């Protein structure tokens, strides 16, 4: 009789890096008591990205896992495909279940390599999921059904945006105090224009919500840098500054946010892995993938609550 989904079964193995931990003793295909859920929320707050291995979750079980942490929400990218006339179930990016995104390069006969579109094999740039919506998801759950071994690429990397903020010079902290960022919704995380969107030519063409450059995490009370996404000009910008100043300040912030010392990479994906990350205090990126190998992952987003601005309120972090 295996001991699973109990407090005593939980084992946390930190990555040894700036964030990330493997958690053992949990199977989301089985009921998770509230007390265990509450403990996972604490572990998540401590480590920001959690890896669970050896799971086999149906889409409904993936959605009920999201329910444990606040519910699920549909990816905004789905809307862009629907607006372009794609019907649910017709395209792997528009699954029949609204809150599920299927990432697959396998056709109906199980043959790999069908994802010939450029964006499927390019690297994905650093980003926080769906930062380009008004209420971004608090977290994301990514479950590997079939993944190639590490020599074929596809490592998913994360970085710690609490530390990114803490490590800023006093001068940079002062420079961003009270400032915001408009999050570009034109391009996907490979930098490719979304269906129905036109290439922006000037700042006024950029659409997307305005979020504070620093947000407060509702669980930890700590400040995190919140850059979201940024492509070649014109893209996400700081509305309080002119174009040149905005690009110059963002360049400094992105250099700080993507420093190697803040990073952990999950580079040995295995079938059955589930990664759960916090979009409020981390960013992630993916290295290129060789699409001659079958790669199928299912994702859902954990329902967000409004972004809490750091401006006008002290951080609760006593550090």
Q: Which residues bind Fe ion (CB under 5 A)?
A: 129
Q: State residue 317 phi and psi, 5-degree precision.
A: -70, 120
Q: C-beta of 283: minimal distance to Fe ion in Å?
A: 9
Nearer CB in complex with Fe ion: 39/129: 129
Q: C-beta of 95: minimal distance to Fe ion in Å?
A: 16
Nearer CB in complex with Fe ion: 129/278: 129
Contact 307, 135 (CB under 8 A): yes
Q: C-beta of 189: minimal distance to Fe ion in Å?
A: 6
Nearer CB in complex with Fe ion: 129/185: 129
Nearer CB in complex with Fe ion: 129/184: 129
Nearer CB in complex with Fe ion: 140/246: 140
Q: C-beta of 129: minimal distance to Fe ion in Å?
A: 4
């Amino acid at each position: 009789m295996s001991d699973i989904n109990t407090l005593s079964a939980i084992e946390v193995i930190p990555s040894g890096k700036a964030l990330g931990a493997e958690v053992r003793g949990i199977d989301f295909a089985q009921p998770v008591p509230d007390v265990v859920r509450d403990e996972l929320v604490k572990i998540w707050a401590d480590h920001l990205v959690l890896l669970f291995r050896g799971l086999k979750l149906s889409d409904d079980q993936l959605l009920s896992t999201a329910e444990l942490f606040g519910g699920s929400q549909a990816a905004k990218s789905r809307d862009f495909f629907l607006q372009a006339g794609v019907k649910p179930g017709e395209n792997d990016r528009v699954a029949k279940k609204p809150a599920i995104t299927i990432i697959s390069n396998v056709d109906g006969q199980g043959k790999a390599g069908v994802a010939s579109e450029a964006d499927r094999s390019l690297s994905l740039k650093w980003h926080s999921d769906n930062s380009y919506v008004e209420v971004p998801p608090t977290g994301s759950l990514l479950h590997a059904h079939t993944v190639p071994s590490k020599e074929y690429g596809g490592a998913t990397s994360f970085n710690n945006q609490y530390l990114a903020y803490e490590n800023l010079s006093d001068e940079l902290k002062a420079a961003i105090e009270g400032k915001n960022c408009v999050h570009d919704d034109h391009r996907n995380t490979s930098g490719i224009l979304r269906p129905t969107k036109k290439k922006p030519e000037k700042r006024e063409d950029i659409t997307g919500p305005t979020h504070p450059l620093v947000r407060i995490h509702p669980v930890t009370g700590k400040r995190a840098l919140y850059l979201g996404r940024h492509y070649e000009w014109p893209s996400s910008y700081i509305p309080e500054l002119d174009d040149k100043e905005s690009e110059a300040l963002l360049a400094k912030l992105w250099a700080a946010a993507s420093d190697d010392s803040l990073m952990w990479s999950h580079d040995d994906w295995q079938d059955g892995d589930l990664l759960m990350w916090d979009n409020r205090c981390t960013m992630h990126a993916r290295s290129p993938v060789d699409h001659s190998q079958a790669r199928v992952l299912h994702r859902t987003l954990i329902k967000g609550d409004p972004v809490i601005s750091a401006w006008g309120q002290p951080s609760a972090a006593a550090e």
